[in-house]
Amino acid sequence: MSFGPPAMGYDRAITIFSPEGKLYQVEYAFEAVRQGWTTLGIRTESCSAIVAEKRLLTPLMDIDGIDKIFVVDGHVGMSFAGFGFDGRVLIDYARLAAVRHRLLYGEPIDVEYLTKMVSDIKQAYTQHGGVRPFGVALIVAGVDDRGPRLFLTEPSGQYFSYYAVGIGRGGQTVNDYLAKHYKKDLGVEETLILGLKALSQVAEEKLKPEYVEIGYADAETGAFKRLTREEIADLLSKMEKQGGEE
């Protein structure tokens, strides 16, 4: 009787650790995130913003029917990279959590507390047999009594606060660009244009309004807003005048 290599089989159940201390199913979920459409978040003194790309997978696909940025509550929005079906379920859960908090306490939910609730669900799916980890990372952008907030939840259930972060297929390139050009004191428009410039570094062709989504939580108004296609086109025009392909 022959036996396979010692590491063989450790990826067949979520509850089995490898000798290296890894959960291979969680590692595979991270890889699903790395294969997703590029999405980024930026937090400055003026706002917390999300910029996401959309891609036309087939010529007959209705690109307008694809959403990448979602309003969770009046002051917070989310986007994702990875499996869209997993992202949709978690965002629906976050929406219900935000509504229940408003009904129970009469105030908007704290952005970090909402992030923690979603992360707790993710973590639970890394330690029970018969389930698999969520193959999605979520960017959470909002405003609360602490000002603009930006968080990233990982498939493992871990979450971190960021000034700027990119995920998906072009995430590393975006992170490198943001590390060089990020400034904390940018205005709202400057923040959004910085996000577009970062996304342009990984775009396969010139950015078009129909293939980009933008949403931001304004520190002044406390509201999360998704931009229209016309507003995105205006920002792209301004970016080009500044030299978007730096």
For 147: left if phi > 0, alpha if psi spans -120 to 50, otherwise beta; the answer is left
Q: Does some domain include residue 224?
A: yes
Structure tokens at 91: 């965002």
Residue 136, in any domain of the structure: yes
Q: Is the pLDDT of residue 245 over 60?
A: no
CATH code: domain of residue 202: 3.60.20.10
139 falls within a domain: yes
**How much is the average pLDDT of 129-153?**
95
Span 193-210, pLDDT tens digits: 999 999 999 988 889 999
Across the range 154-168, mean pLDDT stands at: 97
Q: Compute the C-alpha angle 39/36/93, nearest 5°.
A: 75
In a domain, 92, yes or no: yes
Please indicate, yes or no, if residue 222 is contained in any of the structural domains.
yes
Is residue 218 in a domain? yes
Token digits of residue 246? 């730096």
Q: Are 114 and 224 in contact (CB under 8 A)?
A: no
pTM of the model: 0.92
Tell the residue number behind the tokens 């063989």, with chain if given.
8
pLDDT, tens only, 1-32: 344 454 567 777 787 888 888 888 999 999 99
Write out 115-140 in H/E/C secondary structure: HHHHHHHHHHCCCCCCCCCCCEEEEE
Percent of the chain with pLDDT over 90: 79
Contact 123, 29 (CB under 8 A): no
Output phi, psi for 240, to 5 deg. Answer: -65, -35
Q: Is 6 contained in some domain?
A: no
> What local confidence, expressed as pLDDT, does residue 87 receive?
96
In a domain, 228, yes or no: yes
137 Cα distance to chain centroid: 6
| Pairwise CA distance, residues 133 & 52, whole Å | 23
The whole-chain average pLDDT of the chain stands at 92
Residue 235 reports pLDDT greater than 80:
yes
- In this prediction, residue 133 carries a pLDDT of 95
> What count of residues does the chain have?
246
CB-CB contact of 133 with 97 (8 Å)? no
What is the extent of the structural domain holding 114? 41-240
pLDDT of res. 63: 85
**Residue 57 phi, psi (nearest 5):** -75, -35
Integer Cα distance of 215 and 143 in angstroms: 13
How many domains are contained in the chain?
Answer: 1
